[in-house]
Structure 1
Amino acid sequence: MTRYPLLIFLLLFSISISAQVELNYPDVKYTTENIKANWVSHPDISGGEDRVILFRNTFDVADVNQDFIINISADNHYFLYVNGRMVTHGPQLSDIKHWKFETLNLKNFLQNGKNVISVKVINFGKRRFYGLQSIFTSVMVNGVTENAKTLTTTGKGDTWLCSLDDSYKAIEVNWRGGGPKSIVGGFYANNPTDFVDMNKYPTDWEQLVFDDSNWSRTMFFEGASSMGGSMAYLLEPRNLPLLTWEKEPIESTVRSSETTLPTFPASGKLEIPSNKIATFLIDQKYVTNGFPELIFSKGKNASIKIKYAENLFDEHDEKGDRDDIKNKKLLGYYDSIVSNGKDAQKFIPNWMRTFRFVEFEIETKEQGLVLDNFINYRSRTNIASSASFTSDDEMYNDIFDICKRTVDICTQDYFLSDAYYETMQYVGDTKIHALLWQAMSGNLDHTKNAIEQFHQSRDAEGNILGAYPLRSTFIYPTYSLVWVDMISDYYNLTDDKSFIEHYKDGIVHTLAGFEKNMNELNLVNETKYRYFIDWYSGPNDGKGTATKNNGKNSAVVSLHYVHALQNAAKLFEVIGDTPTAKKYQSRADAIKKSVFDLCYDSNKQVFAERPDKTIYDQHTNIMAILTDAIDKSQQKALLTKILNDKDLLQATYYYRFYLFRAIEKVGAPELFDLAQKPWESMINDHMTTTLERFESKKKPTRSEVHPWSASPAYFYFNYLAGIESVKNNFEEVRIAPVFGKLQSMDGLLPTSKGNIVFDLKKSKTKLSAEITIPKEMKGELVWNGKHIPLKQGKNKYTLK
């Protein structure tokens, strides 16, 4: 039942991945000790405004067979070209105290004789992406090998030249000011978009033949190693692979202001006459992201607006069936270009764009415009995402596909919360995203990076910032607790005690900070920060809490603290710190007893969200099950009850991760399909990625590429197929399928030890299984109380 088109699709993309690699991944070979460069800039720049600086260095190479290794970084963002060829863009997202640099071997881009290295550095200005910290618009290039030292930036007599690109200006995305809004749904934390006047653009600036004789010498900004770098950026090697740069075709036009529908861009050029206003809409058929490239000719002073969106809206700002475009409009961010009338002009945006739909709005002047080509360069992590899953239920197969696409799009050089609106790495989102990515790739490096970055965000009170890296201060005390849970997740998979040791002091600090929020009832007080739990639907949404009293006496928040304390107790017991483990367990027991005594409603036989028993939600009851705040003998009945009680405030996509965990904990696979019902509406509306929250007329959803809503795909492997690591990150595995409503499942689960390939079928009480496990793995197959050792390689099993 394996669906081969997806595999072919992935193989086609893998062919186009750049051969360039990060030399410090996975092991650091080139440290900061050998960095002698300075940070440099343009002499006429203030430093914080929206600006593009272009840098060039022309140099000679005597032997192209020799390694030619450099370190490079920039603030805010850079694109690196060698002899006109795109090499990579960066740096990896981090903060000032842990500023990343890339280490690259450029020899495959060089030629004997004259060469040119070109770097475009962008500062997105005052409305830059919330995840971008910044000091000054600058670049640092350090020659590592002797032949590359000529490229070392010093700002004091080096051979670099620079120029301000006056063609560029940032377009602020309007979401809260006056005038027409650029987006629907509120908060926008992504970068501004681009306005480019090609009349002012230095065409071919990245090519060797370009005349840079009137460019300026670079200006020294700061030393990269001055006082250990503490005068500016504390440098660290990149710890994740470079991002991909993959060619992705863009589909044809589906709507046009012209009577004849053009086939552009899928096939052929598009000519637009002079003095013409034209619009046309492209449907990519699925959501994607990257750097779309437009090549166009002629059309002197023509204006080209390129608008991008995940979906279309009707006249009531509702979405409906995503395949239905009739009478719908595109509302979204856009780039704007003015043509200079020359042939083969090229526009690529300075930051990623996310889209299913692209709309062109074009107005020509006295000269006709020709659109020559429009393609996308997909940019995401270079780590392969090779998991696959197919069942006898097409709804499950479709849900898996949209979950996987969402996770793949949002795994960049950090975990994106969503691909369009915020693109930040949030703790609560990342807990789910990390588990999904591990299942899709078998790789833990992004998870380790995220946990460490959250650790670096901690404030003096022990709060983990709700998102990090970050140039603002978002604090959700519940997300501090989730960080502790993430460490527990990591240990449960890897059995790595050193990981606990590294973070034990941070755990103590974070839990001590949260303890200050507790009151005399053993429930939480309100704080100046917001306890985020879920985007509750209806009138009781207190901006992420179930009520509008700032979470005071919240049972579910108190139980999240219990959950973190329980996990911490297990972690400290593992490393032999029994007194601390007992302290945390004792505190957890006291709080959950108070929650039961004060919030359990014996008449309704469910937990209320707070002691006054005015609010009832699924969330509190889910967490009561996960923390054993209710006796284990009553947990399955409670779970069944809350899943069938529509009067309770419902867990939305995000919190259903915890609902699936509760189903797994009580052993109720028959409830999985019911819990998954909300995803069916996404499939019925022909969505290709997962929504942020439930739709409502009062508050239409924003993000349509939101990994926290992709959790079903994780549980297809972990619970329904029952594939679980029981020792040292899949050194040993247990496969105990439960199926739920399914009758058959097959797929591939990548692990650190190799791929597990499975084909499972049940008929009443009989299991037929074909399972392949790698040589480095051992384990067992469990069915109806039978435990059968798994043989390495491909084997067939029949159990009754």
Structure 2
Amino acid sequence: MKRGLIILCYWLLAFTATAQEKQINPELLNQQWPSRWISHPEGPQRDYGVFHFRKVFQLTSVPKNFVIHVSADNRYRLFVNGKAVSMGPARGDLYNWYYETIDLAPFLKAGDNIIAAKVWNMGVHAPVAQVSNQTALVVQGDNKEASIVNTNNTWKVLRDPAYSPVSTDNGPRLRAYMVIGPGDKVEGAQYPWGWESVDFNDSGWVNAAAIASPAPFGKGTDNLWTLVPRNIPQMEETQQRILKVRRAEGIEKDEGFLTGKKAFSIPANKKVSILLDQTFNTIAYPELLLSKGKGASVKMTFAEALVDEQGNKKNRDQVEGMHINGNYDIFVADGGDKRLFRPLWMRTYRYVQLDIETKDEALQIDDIYGMYTGYPFEETAKFSSSDASLKNLWDVGWRTARLCAGETYYDCPYYEQLQYEADTRIQALISLYVSGDDRLARKAILDFYHSMVPEGLTQGRYPSNRLQVIPPFSLWWVSMIYDYFMHRDDKAFTAEFLTGISSVLTWYKKHLDPEKGILGPMPWWNFVDYTHVFPNGVPDGADDGNSSVISLQYVYTLQQAAKIFDYHGKSQQAEQYRALASKIAKRTYELCYDKSKGLMANTPEFKAYSQHANIMAVLTDAIPKAAQQALMKRVIADTTLGPATFYYRFYLNQALKAADLADLYYGQLTPWRDMLKMGLTTFAEKPEPARSDCHAWSASPNYDFLATICGIMPEDIGFSSVLIKPALGELSYANGSMPHPKGTIQVDLKRKGKTGLKAKVNLPANLKGNLVWNGKSIPLTGGVQEIDL
């Protein structure tokens, strides 16, 4: 197979497209690196530990370029002459261990320089999203001059005794699945303050131990990590001020210190509690600057929402009668001036509570703020309409999407920070439409490809240090590839996944019931939606056989795969997929369609009915076209059907569009409006009671406002032509613009009477398409055109 060569070529192409835009010395891609992976010679290699590495080196002058490549296990933060210059590595796995490429020249000076790295291993407390081998650091210069900083036994290392893990009981304490890693406790008196500066005395440190030769992809015979270039940009970090003090106990309330311009003093031998409110949900590295107060303890607790005595959330703005319960960090002051505490990993919060206990010296809070972090998406799309309230939905949706995007997409930033296919498909579409940046989407498709198990399925989430297989999510992975295929002209990239797609579809084919012709019993976790009628998200018939919902999702995916395989010249396989899809759809209709009710049942037993089964029936045309409008009207009106939650309402809208009922979308936004009424500033995982207040799969309005209301969609593969099919609903006008690989698509849409439309469309040069309104199609070309229908 040419798979290795294809992947290596892809990494090279993808890397040059990142924000770093650094070229890599070809020799480093084709041989083991001269540097070494290094670690502490006596420190634990797979257990919890925080380590500081440093090397002083001399330069006679500052070079024009000084490019290095750096990585670590689990994580690192790199400093040059005291300035933080890189964090990483981007999360992957041992087969695809990412390294960052950085030009250090802007941070160097003539004479003595210091390169230093804080490296940590969370051991058994590590996030589930963190794959690991053992504690280690590698730095490799890109050329001979930069090789002076190569990691080897000339580097010095210290295991930091100041750190210990806390908040390790989050799951049972919060009664939720929470796997983001521990909090930090830092004893200031034991921390090596100034360790990253060139004049720090490291005479008590030991020389690092070389443990392995770094091997790039396709090289090496005994790799601990296989190195590949980072294919996404560095994460954003922007200072974000905390805005309010909502409550103060044991001390007078004072918000002055939140501005950073006024210090706040806590008297000696005092216990105080201060509740801070960011006023909106965020993800950031909180930074706390303290002076004096030797022995004082500051506990920082983070939460998306406060809870009552029974642990229930109410309106998210409510403070009275509510308290905080969340993950936390602890900092113990050493009495020094301007001591900066920053946790090793980012925290998600709207509320932050400071519980402070001083000893015999007053403690001074000099400053506190967050360094907002996340994938550096830019909001290039715009949307406005005659309903001004949609602007708030747009803003909250985009905040939700941004908080759920880092080195991977996250399902939720507070509890898991794991990348699941079902969430990621929706997130990737939002990214493409609102920012136009497709790099994280490409990385996600690759991540899931790398997760494949011998059975032929992808894992349900990845990267992950625990195995979880969710068969329907493997189908959504294929849908992700289809979406990318429709939105980007990137044949070489999609070709890489044909074998994986075939593997997934073959797994499902093996699980067809030979007598009934639809899916029989299936192993693993057959999650579809967290609706209350599906126990643990699993629909009727998934585990014991004959689920119409998943059978039709399989049909949906076969239909998409057929288009992909046709495009790649695999017409025979494409036709096989089409024929199989048609056969399963026909059998599902025959077995599960209840003619008396005019509904698709969840199984042939006709015991339960859901929106999900009928949504999929429309999306696959398992229901005859002539019956689809009546069916979808019943689906949104019949309250006896198992309801779709926020997540699956994405597919509800797709089915409305397929049935030519997209005008009903605007009236389906009540669940999102209700979340805003509850004080939510990001969209929740599911209806109340919700675990996660920020869940990316609920941010679909940011896609739908452009793709449904404005009606902007790819008309052909690779977005080579555009279809604009507006669905204004009750809106009198809507304006939208979105990025396209060739430029910007802009539409201004106004109703004329009950059935007319006045449209102004501006397409990039060399882009063609069609505007469709009330069954009439108008050709579009590049440039501005005004249409009066």
Give TM-score, length-normalised by structure 2.
Answer: 0.93
Match of 1:140 in 2: 138
Distance (whole Å) between structure 1 residues aligned to residue 130 and residue 370 of structure 2: 24
The answer on 1:758 being equivalent to 2:752 is no
1:710 to 699, 702, 716: 699
Q: Distance in 1 between matches of 2:594 and 2:512?
A: 22
Please say if residues 659 and 675 of structure 1, whose CA atoms lie closer than 8 Å, have aligned partners that are also in contact: no
Q: Which residue of 2 aligns with 1:693?
A: 686
**CA offsets, 1:646-698, max 9 Å, x none?**
11110001111111100111111332134322111111112111111121xxx
Which whole-Å deviations, capped at 9, do the CAs of 1:555-600 have from their partners, x for residues lacking one?
A: 1011111111111222222223232122222221221222112211
The aligned counterpart of 2:9 is none
Relative to structure 1, the CA distance from residue 103 to residue 188 in structure 2 (aligned partners, 3 Å threshold; closer, same or farther) is: same
1:332 matches 2:326: yes
CA distance change for structure 1 residues 273 and 259 in 2, over 3 Å: closer, same or farther? closer
Tell me how far apart the structure 1 counterparts of residues 714 and 483 of structure 2 sit (CA, whole Å).
12
Inter-partner Cα distance in structure 1 for 2:198 and 2:450: 42
Aligned to 2:3: none
Partner of 1:7: none
- Counterpart among 282, 285, 310 of residue 288 in structure 1: 282
Deviation at 1:780, TM superposition (A): 4.2
Alpha-carbon distance, 1:517 to partner: 2.1
Q: Please tell me the residue identity of whatever aligns with 2:102.
A: L
What SS does the corresponding residue of 2:596 show, helix, strand or coil?
coil
SS in 2 for 1:126: helix
User: Are residues 1:160 and 2:155 paired?
Assistant: yes
- The equivalent residue for 1:314 is 308
Could you tell me whether the CA contact under 8 Å between 1:643 and 1:674 is conserved in 2?
no
Give the residue type in structure 1 aligned to 2:479.
Answer: D
Aligned counterpart, 1:498: 492
Partners of 2:542 and 2:550 within 8 A in 1: no
Structure-1 residue corresponding to 2:453:
459
Name 1:554's counterpart in structure 2: 547
| 2:373 is aligned with 1:379 | yes
Other-structure match for 2:242? 250
2:659 to 655, 661, 666: 666
Residue 764 (structure 2) pairs with residue 774 (structure 1): yes
Query: Is residue 525 from structure 1 mapped to residue 520 from structure 2 by the alignment?
Result: yes
Task: Report if aligned partners of 1:54, 1:162 keep a CA contact under 8 Å in 2.
Answer: yes
Aligned to 1:151: 149
**Distance in 2 (alpha carbons) for counterparts of 1:198 and 1:566:** 60
**Any unmatched runs of 5+ in structure 2?**
1-16
Give, in whole Å, the separation in 2 of the partners of 1:682 and 1:659: 19
Q: Which moved more, 1:332-341 or 1:671-680?
A: 671-680
Deviations 1:254-283 (A, max 9, x none): 211146321131352211001111011111
Distance 1:189 1:198, change over 3 A: same
Q: Distance in 2 between matches of 1:418 and 1:715?
A: 21
Contact 1:229 1:235 survives alignment (8 Å): no
Matching residue of 1:509 = 503
Q: Work out which of the residue numbers 188, 201, 205 in structure 2 matches 1:198.
A: 188
Q: In the aligned structure 2, how far is the partner of 1:259 from the partner of 1:24?
A: 47
**Which of 635, 642, 649 is matched with 1:649 structurally?**
642
- Counterpart position of 1:3: none
Q: Secondary structure at the match of 2:199?
A: coil
Say which SS state the counterpart of residue 637 (structure 1) adopts: helix
**1:486 aligned residue:** 480
Q: Secondary structure at the match of 1:228?
A: coil
Q: What is the aligned counterpart of 1:173 among 159, 168, 176? A: 168
Which residue number in structure 2 is paired with residue 605 of structure 1? 598
Match for 2:224 among 222, 227, 232?
A: 232
Shift of 1:522: 2.3
Q: Is the 8 A contact 1:654 1:709 kept in 2?
A: yes
2:79 aligned to which of 74, 78, 81: 81
> In 2 relative to 1, CA 597–735 (structure 1 residues): closer, same or farther, beyond 3 Å?
closer
Q: 1:303·1:337 contact (CA, 8 Å) conserved in 2?
A: yes
Is residue 692–residue 708 contact of structure 1 (8 Å, CA) maintained in 2? yes
Which amino acid in 2 is paired with 1:32?
Answer: L
Contact 1:730 1:753 survives alignment (8 Å): no
**Displacement, 1:742?**
1.6
Give how far 1:219 is off. Answer: 0.5
Counterpart residue number, 2:57: 59
CA RMSD of aligned residues (A): 2.1
In structure 2, the CA distance between the partners of 1:549 and 1:748, relative to structure 1 (3 Å rule), is closer
Residue 437 of structure 1 deviates from its aligned partner by 0.8
**Identity across matched positions, percent:** 35
Moved more, 138-147 or 260-269: 260-269
Partner of 1:15 in structure 2? none
Note closer, same or farther for the CA distance 1:22–1:757 as it changes in structure 2 (3 Å cut): closer
Change over 3 Å in CA distance of 1:22–1:637 after alignment to 2: closer
Give the residue type in structure 1 aligned to 2:520. N
Are the counterparts in 2 of residues 542 and 550 from structure 1 also a CA contact under 8 Å?
no
Q: Which secondary structure state, in structure 1, belongs to the residue aligned with residue 203 of structure 2?
A: coil
Q: Residue 299 in 1 paired to residue 296 in 2?
A: no
TM-aligned CA deviation for residue 106 of structure 1: 0.5
Moved more, 227-236 or 653-662: 227-236
| 1:373-392 alpha-carbon deviations (Å, 9 max, x no partner) | 11211222234232222222
C-alpha contact 2:526 2:542 (8 A) present in aligned 1: no
Change (3 A) 1:93 1:776: farther
Deviations 1:417-464 (A, max 9, x none): 111111011111111111111111112221111111111111111011
Which residue identity lines up with residue 435 of structure 2 in the other structure?
S
Residues 538-617 of structure 1 correspond to what in structure 2 (within 5 A)? 540-547=533-540, 550=543, 552-617=545-610
Structure 1 contact 292–375 (Cα < 8 Å) conserved? yes
Aligned position for 2:11:
none
Deviations 1:237-263 (A, max 9, x none): 001111112222221312111463211
Question: Which secondary structure state, in structure 2, belongs to the residue aligned with residue 672 of structure 1?
Answer: helix
Pick from 64, 67, 70: which aligns with 1:69?
Answer: 67
Contact 2:19 2:232 in 1 (8 A): no
| Stretch moving more, 443-452 or 768-777 | 768-777
Paired position in structure 2 for 1:637: 630
Offset, 1:789? 5.0
Give the drift of 1:546.
Answer: 2.8
Deviations 1:398-435 (Å, cap 9, x if unpaired)? Answer: 21111111111222121111111110111111111111
* Aligned position for 1:17: none
Whether the 8 Å contact between 1:381 and 1:412 is mirrored in structure 2 is yes
Give the equivalent residue in structure 2 for 1:101: 99
- Identify the range of structure 1 (394-403 vs 300-309) with the bigger mean alpha-carbon deviation: 394-403
Contact 2:167/2:328 (8 A) holds in 1: no
Cα distance in 2 for partners of 1:324, 1:221 equals 54
Give the aligned partner of residue 11 of structure 1. none
Contact kept, 8 Å, 1:524 with 1:551, in 2: the verdict is no
Counterparts in 2 of 1:437 and 1:602: CA distance versus 1, 3 Å: same
1-structure distance, mates of 2:787, 2:768: 19
* Equivalent position of 2:674 in the other structure: 681
Q: Is the 8 A contact 2:242 2:258 kept in 1?
A: yes
Can you list the C-alpha shifts for 1:442-495, whole angstroms capped at 9, x where unaligned? 122211111111111111110110011111111011111111111111212235
Give the structure 2 partner of residue 44 of structure 1: 42
3-state SS of 1:308 partner: strand
C-alpha distance in 1 between matches for 2:639 and 2:401: 30
Q: How far apart, in 2, do the equivalents of 1:143 and 1:516 lie?
A: 50
SS in 2 for 1:543: helix
Q: Is this contact kept in 1: 2:46–2:134, CA < 8 A?
A: yes
CA contact (8 A) 1:297 1:371 kept: yes
> Is the 8 Å Cα contact of residues 768 and 796 (structure 1) preserved in structure 2?
no
Residue 761 of structure 1 and its aligned partner are, at CA, apart by: 2.1
How many angstroms apart in 2 are the aligned matches of 1:26 and 1:491?
27
Which letter maps to 1:420?
A: Y
Matches within 5 A, 1:420-439: 420-439=414-433
TM-superposed deviation, 1:792: 4.6
Aligned equivalents of 2:614, 2:774: Cα separation in 1 = 29
Equivalent position SS for 2:715: strand
Separation in structure 1 between the aligned mates of residue 541 and residue 179 of structure 2, nearest angstrom: 25
Between 1:475-484 and 1:516-525, the stretch displaced more is 516-525
Aligned residues: 766
Partner amino acid for 1:774?
P
Cα distance in structure 2, aligned partners of 1:625 and 1:168 = 56
